[in-house]
Each structure stands twice: as structure tokens, then as C-alpha cells.
Structure 1
Amino acid sequence: MARIGILTSGGDCPGLNAVIRACVLRGIRGHKDEFLGLLDGWRGVVEQNAIELDWKSVRGIAKLGGTILGTSRTSPFDDGGTVQKVVASLRSMRLDALIVIGGEGTLTVAKMLSDEGVRIIGVPKTVDNDISATDYTFGFDTAVEIATEAIDRLKTTGESHHRCMIAEVMGRHVGWIALHAGMATSAHAILIPEQNATIDEICDWVGKPFQRGRPPLIVVAEGFVPEGMTRAHSARGLDAFSRPRLGGIGEFLAPTIEERTGIETRSTTLGHIQRGGVPSASDRVLATRLGMAAVDAAHDEDWGQMVAVRSTEIVRVDLSEAIGQLKTVPQSRYDEALTLFG
């Protein structure tokens, strides 16, 4: 029996509530645990703002998008925060351990705290599918499904007006969403951060299908950098981590393509709708399995570990494997898609 805290931190993601539910049910039914839900990520730790979680409070939440605990991009080390203050806060709330659900930034903080003796188990979360220690992250499948449905809709209006349509999807550093959604929708070009492409190449990929009577379709990740540019397109300042707020590469490309090819071109940015709404069945299952595995790892006192998926199995890996190196789209996967361009 243990008293375990759960927090969700960073960007929201379909499947978070399924993890929370699985943790609570596994812990209560299997180990008679008590659970405390820390509100708004690490901010809940710092401010000791939390709610009790029992089986009634997680009933029916697996199908809900977002997170019932709220989230933020707060770090416990902001404004003079220290490991000692985090430890004191956890002791004040009588917590024996933490289950931390988040992406690379969140897991980096978890690793730092774990190294100082805080009992932590990590659960990977990101729609971008860019955590290197796991084959897949929940939220990715949902994001691809949402993007695919939206792009299918764009294609029909493109066909009606004989236009080139550009769909801009999420992907700051990696192009997994663009690759999967682009292949699913038979895109004539898929532009991702891992690969360079010149404007001439892009216009060639656009021109070929148009000559065959097909409305060209481009899927571009927000972090794509055209050859000749030194960094990803950004015109909206910096975020909470002093990173450029990406977005708008589609709008940047559209007039250039139209000018060079003479093909009317329109761009749509899908933005946050990709990580909103209900999780797919696949993401609900994966999130549930990861949640149960996290509680089991805690009771095995396998601290400093992250639960991950390898092939179809749930495994444990050191938190150090989850941070520092992003899982990018390999050349072989891009080459498969490249065969279909134009």
C-alpha cells in the first residue's frame, strides 16, 4: 500500500485521462493504494495543489480528451525552486512516490529529481511521437487520424477549385505526423524538419499532378525549413521556454508556389485541433497499458524508470534513455514516401 501522486505536464494530449484511470484502478484494486492528483503539472507540486483520486473520480474518463488534472509548462525549478523544496512539498502531502506523465521536457525534470533520490516513474506522452526510448507514444495515433480526416476534406475543396492545397501539421523537430498523415492521404509532397527540399523541387512535385489533372496536395510539418532558410518559420515571438512559436510555413510557401507555377494555392494550419478531442481506440489501449505498468513499476521500487512500448510489449527503460535525443524520421521511411511524390 502506498500513497502515490500523479501529474500531467507540458502540452495536453489525447489519452492522458486513460493513463490516470488505469493508474488509479490498478493501484486501488491490486495494491490498496491511495492517489493524489497534482493539479496543473509541476505547479501542483510547488503549490501543493491537489485532489484525491479514487475509483469514482476516474470513472468514465478514458474516452475524454485533455486531462482532468490540468497541465502547464511550469518547472519546479522556476523562480528559485530547488530539489529540496520539491522533496519538502512531497513530504508535506505525504506522498511516497510520483508518476509523471509528460514529454521530453517533463521527463528531463523527472530525471533530475530522480537523480536526487525522489521516487519517480515516468510515462511518455507526446503527439509528435518523438521520444526515442519508446516505439510509440499515446496521442500520436489520434493526431494522425485528426490530420488525415482534415486533409481529406481539404482535398475535396481543392478538387472543386483545381487548387493546390497545403496542410500544415504539428512537428517542431520531427515529421512523424506529417509523414503518416501525408502517406494516408496520398500527398504529392511531404515536407518535414529532417529533410531539405528546395522551392524548385516543391514546385516540381506540385506541377506534375496538376498536369495530370489532379489537384496537388502538400503536407508540411511546422518545423520544416526550406533550403536557403536557416531556421523554421516563426512570426509569433517566443513561448514559455524561450523557443520560437512555430507556425505559418504553409502560408509562407503558398504564394511562392502560386507565383512560380501559376497554380492557385491555399494553405490551412491544423494547429491545436490535432491534440484536442477524444483519443482513438488505439491510444486508449496504449495509455491504459502504460498506466497499469507505471503502478507495477512503482511497487517493484524500480525508481527512475519510464514505461515504454517496444514492438507490442510494455517494458521499462531508464529515464536517461527518454531525454537528450529525439526520435527522428529515418531516411528509409522518408524514401518510402518519396517514391510517391509528384
Structure 2
Amino acid sequence: MIKKIGILTSGGDAPGMNAAIRGVTRYAMYKGLTVEGILRGYDGLIHGDSTALTRRSVGGIIHRGGTLLKTARSEEFRTEEGRQKAYEWLQKNHIDALVVIGGDGSMKGAEKLSALGIPTITIPGTIDNDMPGTEYTLGYDTAVNTVLEAVNRIRDTASSHDRVAIVEVMGRHAGFIALESGMACGAEIVLVPEKKVTLKEVADHLVESHKQWKMSSIVIVAEGAVSGCDVLTYMKQHHPEMNPSLTVLGYLQRGGAPSARDAKMAGLFAQKAVDYLLSGGKDAVIGSIHDKIVATPYTEVDKYKFTIDENEYDLVHALGT
């Protein structure tokens, strides 16, 4: 019977993590449980760095970016000895289950802990939106809106100076942020890791676009597709008349208050996580699949891998010509 749960955030921070911490804590307490917050991810778990969470201690954080519990990457947790120390600490402190908020790597860590005998649940929190077992991850919507706001400002300068504005966004392995923001801002080209495009093809597309009397263009580049610097260098060498510029948004995309959707989804994910544990469920990732909040066992998540929308990819370029 579960009486006490632990919660930690791991990997890169994402808007909505605090909302999820609040949601898990308050809903668990509503259900009669006590909650222990583990600081600095798996590293804190190994070294017993924790604090009791209460309704009051998680008050006023739903709108804050980052994570109240801090986050860190732990090389020690990658070892069997490190994971055993983490498990023993959980046992010693009478923590019956652990909720992990993070990305794919965090989920794999939770799965390894589960193998030692502690029930775990993963709530997806990563701006890249690239976790198996869910079509939506906390932080993604906020990141897209952050990119959109930045690009709209950059467009003003691009238009004023008749230039091609290259904007590099996050997305090492997946192009969700690039494609979604590209569609929303009316980019002429979106480069994503899933689609291989040569720099010559990029330049040719821009040339065709400018033949339609366009004087400025926006190129959204996911970092995993190609370096924004490489695009800038190629354009300067072959089409200096387009006056290209580069903006790398970087960690700007991780910060800020969560969007309404991220804050709402955090609460729904938190509720499902607690209810699933109380029903006897364990060792699963909470996700949104076909607009339903579901719990998928770690052993089955690879059946639910989602990729960018092919129609959106084709459409953004058709509209941007």
C-alpha cells in the first residue's frame, strides 16, 4: 500500500515542471499521501538531498519556469552502485513510489530503478516533444510560443533591412519546435533532423521565393538538422545580396512561465500519475495519445513513437514559396 511518494525533476529543465510538482504534491495529499521532494535529480537521490513537500511549499510556483526541485545530470547514477545507493535511500526513508519528471533519459533512469523494486512513474517534461509514449511533453508549447515571439521580432528587422533571417532553435533529434514555430510564423524554410536538405536546396528555395518579389525571408533551423552558422556561411558565400543574418535562440527557449496548455497538462499528468499508482499501477510513462491521458508501461512505450507531421512539413514550404 502506498503511503508516501517521492518526486524529482531530471535532465534539462522545461516550463511546466513546477506546475507538475505542484500538481503531484497537492493531488497526492488530497488522496491522503505524504510527499518528499528530491533535490537535483538522481544525484540528490543518491546523496539523500530532499525536503518534505506541503501544499504551502508548492504554492505560488505554477506560473514559474525552471524547477523548484532543481535538476542535475548524474554520472554516478549510471552505475549499478549508484542506483543501488538511490534504492537503499528510498527504502530507508519509507518512500513507496517515485514520480520522475523529465525526458527520455530520465525515463530510462526511472525504469532502471523500477528493476530494483521501487515503483516509478515518469511525467514527460522536455521542450523537444520527442519522448515515446506520448504525443505531448511539458514545456513544448511554451518553447514554441517563445520561438514565435522571438521570430516575430526578428522579422521586423529582416523586413526593414531586406535580409534573410536564419533562426536556430533547439531540436537535436527531432524537429517539432522548428516545424511548429515555422508554421506559426510563416517561415519560408524549416530545416529539421528528420528531413535531409542540402544547403544548395535551401539557397535555391530562397532564390525562387525572392523571385516572387519577396524582399525578406525567415529560415528556421533545428540544431540537429544543420548548424545555423553553416547556413549563414553558405548564404554569404553564394548569395550575399540577400544580406543573411543568424540568431541562435539557445536557452531562451527553456525559460519563462509555462503557457496555459503546459500548466493545464501538468495538472492532468499529475492526477493520472497519482491515480495510477494508487490503483496498483507502476513502471509507466504518463502521456497524451489521441487527446487522452494514458499510462503506458515502459516495456511498451516504443510502440508509441511519434514523428513530425509530414503534411505540415510540406505545407510550410508550399506556403513559404
Q: TM-score range by the shorter chain?
A: over 0.9
Supply the AA of the counterpart residue of 1:271. Answer: G
Residue 10 of structure 1 is matched in structure 2 by 11
In 1, Cα distance between the equivalents of 2:281 and 2:75? 24
Asked if 1:297 is matched to 2:276, the reply is yes
In 2, Cα distance between the equivalents of 1:146 and 1:307? 25
Cα shift at 1:80: 5.8
CA offsets, 1:218-249, max 9 Å, x none? 00000014xxxxxxxxxxxxxxxxxxxxxxx1
Provide the secondary structure at the position in 1 that maps to 2:242.
coil
Residue 73 of structure 2 is matched in structure 1 by 73
In 2, Cα distance between the equivalents of 1:255 and 1:305? 45
Query: Is contact 2:188–2:316 with CA below 8 Å preserved after alignment?
Result: no
Percent of pairs with identical residues: 36
In 2, Cα distance between the equivalents of 1:43 and 1:283? 26
Q: Could you tell me which of 213, 235, 249 is aligned with 1:270? A: 249
1:172-321 alignment runs, 5 A limit: 172-211=172-211, 212-225=213-226, 249-261=227-239, 262-321=241-300
Query: Is contact 2:46–2:77 with CA below 8 Å preserved after alignment?
Result: no
In 2, Cα distance between the equivalents of 1:290 and 1:78? 27
Provide the secondary structure at the position in 2 that maps to 1:338.
helix
Residue 315 of structure 2 is matched in structure 1 by 336
Structure having the higher helix fraction is: 2
Residue 246 of structure 1 is matched in structure 2 by none
Query: Is contact 2:168–2:221 with CA below 8 Å preserved after alignment?
Result: yes
Residue 19 of structure 1 is matched in structure 2 by 20
Cα shift at 1:27: 1.0
Q: CA separation of 1:297/1:76 partners in 2, compared to 1, >3 Å: closer, same or farther?
A: farther
In 1, Cα distance between the equivalents of 2:208 and 2:134? 38
Structure 1, 149-158 or 130-139: larger mean CA deviation: 130-139
Cα shift at 1:61: 0.9
In 1, Cα distance between the equivalents of 2:69 and 2:225? 33
In the alignment, structure 1 segments of 5+ residues that lack a partner are 226-248
Query: Is contact 2:163–2:215 with CA below 8 Å preserved after alignment?
Result: no
In 2, Cα distance between the equivalents of 1:213 and 1:177? 25
Cα shift at 1:337: 2.3
Provide the secondary structure at the position in 2 that maps to 1:340.
helix
Query: Is contact 1:45–1:76 with CA below 8 Å preserved after alignment?
Result: no
Structure 1, 112-121 or 5-14: larger mean CA deviation: 112-121
Q: TM-score, normalised by structure 2?
A: 0.94
In 1, Cα distance between the equivalents of 2:132 and 2:316? 22
Provide the secondary structure at the position in 1 that maps to 2:252.
helix
Residue 147 of structure 2 is matched in structure 1 by 147
In 2, Cα distance between the equivalents of 1:324 and 1:48? 35
Supply the AA of the counterpart residue of 1:295. Answer: V
In 1, Cα distance between the equivalents of 2:278 and 2:233? 57
Residue 38 of structure 1 is matched in structure 2 by 38
Supply the AA of the counterpart residue of 2:152. Answer: D
Query: Is contact 1:111–1:320 with CA below 8 Å preserved after alignment?
Result: no
In 1, Cα distance between the equivalents of 2:303 and 2:271? 26
Query: Is contact 1:15–1:279 with CA below 8 Å preserved after alignment?
Result: yes
Q: Number of residues paired by the alignment?
A: 318
Cα shift at 1:109: 1.2
In the alignment, structure 2 segments of 5+ residues that lack a partner are none
Q: TM-score, normalised by structure 1?
A: 0.89
Structure 1, 296-305 or 267-276: larger mean CA deviation: 296-305
Cα shift at 1:152: 0.6
Cα shift at 1:87: 1.9
